[in-house]
């Protein structure tokens, strides 16, 4: 460690340049990770907030929840397989405030209040994003219903398909959308085959939401490429440095310094650069996480920070190690001759 630190102080510029690049890449990676998670929450928080279990929709709907409609026979089959299954429906819509200003939202209703708020006829519970413009007791109207809704509360982080959610009673929902059946079912257990229904795990059901899979796949591919680029940078940087130090390595080997000791010096430099860069990147990204506008879908969790930091350290270690293979192969006399050439 002492030898590694001395060399870094001697060649400040080259290590500062590498550290700056790693800092920028790690900051960009954390930012995109926060954006990906924020968009995921904005697109499917309603589903992600539910416990692990199995979602069911009509088999003929071809994995499109909006086409699903559970017939009574299918519901009976479901109840035989799961005693505590809950039914629910989701439909995109809008409502108007007292000033006739329209607001879009996703209407949600359920057969019981186990996973969603308990709402009486004529009441609505809105996502907390509406708290800036509405208060409990305000009334709103919908073109699909003759009576108005009274806001009775707000639910924290409940969104679906990039729209805030509004929870309403079954009777109001069925009247608005001219139906008497639920679209979906959820059972907090491992999936059991049910005639006429297709079962999905939580993650599989998320991928049935339009745009969710494509959106997350695009952002995750960018993140993966950034990890690959960072590993290549470490490999190229240390390879170039090692080539310049072949003569030094030959002298050190000649006086009895082991190859593993030389590797430890290189790993120490990699860890110092990476940790300093990550600390700066994490600090800035967390500050942005706090100061980001409320309307921006940015959500960077501690788990994501630790996962990304661990990935950068592992990738940096691999890149530096691959570049150091030449240290193991170098012969003392040959390296000394090359160094003096």
Give 126-147 pLDDT, tens digit per residue: 999 899 889 999 999 999 998 9
* Higher-pLDDT residue of 238, 198: 198
pLDDT of residue 43: 87
For the segment 169-186, the average pLDDT, to the nearest whole number, is: 93
Residue 255's φ and ψ, nearest 5 degrees, are -90, 5
In a domain, 207, yes or no: no
pLDDT tier, 282 (very low <50, low <70, confident <90, very high otherwise): very high
pLDDT of residue 332: 67
In a domain, 35, yes or no: yes
In a domain, 181, yes or no: yes
Domain end among 140, 171, 200 = 200
In a domain, 311, yes or no: yes
pLDDT of residue 340: 46
Domain end among 176, 200, 224 = 200
Residues 114 and 139 in one domain: yes
In a domain, 309, yes or no: yes
Per the structure, the complete domain to which residue 73 belongs is given by 53-200
Residues 31 and 63 in one domain: no
H-helix or E-strand spanning residue 334: helix 332-340
Region class of 107: left (phi > 0), else alpha (psi between -120 and 50), else beta = beta
For the segment 321-330, the average pLDDT, to the nearest whole number, is: 75
Residues 187 and 280 in one domain: no
Please give the mean pLDDT across all residues of the chain. 86
pTM: 0.78
> Among residues 274, 272, 268, 269, which one has the least CA distance to residue 311?
274
For the segment 291-308, the average pLDDT, to the nearest whole number, is: 83
Residues 191 and 260 in one domain: no
pLDDT tier, 232 (very low <50, low <70, confident <90, very high otherwise): confident
CA distances from 295 to 128, 132, 164, 288 (A): 12, 12, 12, 13
Q: What is the pLDDT of residues 18-61, one digit of tens each?
A: 889 889 988 988 888 888 888 888 888 999 999 999 999 998 88
Residues 15 and 128 in one domain: no
> Among residues 111, 72, 78, 88, which one has the least CA distance to residue 198?
78
Residues 71 and 195 in one domain: yes
Residues 111 and 246 in one domain: no
In a domain, 205, yes or no: no
In a domain, 206, yes or no: no
* Structure tokens, 27: 């900051």
Give how many domains the chain has, as a whole number.
2
Angle at 4 between CA 329 and CA 307, to 5 degrees: 90
Residues 61 and 167 in one domain: yes
């Amino acid at each position: 460690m002492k030898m590694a630190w001395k060399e870094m102080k001697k060649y400040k510029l080259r290590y500062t340049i590498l550290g700056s690049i790693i800092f920028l890449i790690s900051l960009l990676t954390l930012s995109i990770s926060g954006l990906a998670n924020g968009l995921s929450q904005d697109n499917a928080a309603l589903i992600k907030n539910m416990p692990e279990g199995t979602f069911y929709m009509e088999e003929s709907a071809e994995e499109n929840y909006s086409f699903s409609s559970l017939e009574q026979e299918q519901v009976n089959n479901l109840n035989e397989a799961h005693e505590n299954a809950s039914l629910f429906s989701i439909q995109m819509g809008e409502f108007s405030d007292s000033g006739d200003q329209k607001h879009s939202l996703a209407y949600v209703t359920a057969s019981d209040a186990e996973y969603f708020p308990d709402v009486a006829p004529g009441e609505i519970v809105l996502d907390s994003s509406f708290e800036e413009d509405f208060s409990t007791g305000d009334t709103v109207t919908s073109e699909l219903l003759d009576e108005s809704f009274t806001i009775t509360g707000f639910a924290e982080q409940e969104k679906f398909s990039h729209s805030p959610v509004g929870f309403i009673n079954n009777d109001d929902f069925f009247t608005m959308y001219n139906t008497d059946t639920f679209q979906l079912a959820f059972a907090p257990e491992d999936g059991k085959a049910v005639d006429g229904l297709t079962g999905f795990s939580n993650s599989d059901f998320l991928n049935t939401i339009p745009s969710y899979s494509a959106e997350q796949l695009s952002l995750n591919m960018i993140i993966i490429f950034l990890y690959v680029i960072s590993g290549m940078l470490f490999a190229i940087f240390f390879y170039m440095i090692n080539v310049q130090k072949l003569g030094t390595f030959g002298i050190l080997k000649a006086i009895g310094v082991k190859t593993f000791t030389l590797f430890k010096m290189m790993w120490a430099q990699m860890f110092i650069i990476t940790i300093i860069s990550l600390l700066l990147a994490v600090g800035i990204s967390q500050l942005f996480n706090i100061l980001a506008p409320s309307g921006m879908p940015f959500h960077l969790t501690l788990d994501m920070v630790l996962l990304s930091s661990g990935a950068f350290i592992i990738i940096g270690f691999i890149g530096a190690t691959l570049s150091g293979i030449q240290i193991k192969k170098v012969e003392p006399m040959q390296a000394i001759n090359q160094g003096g050439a």
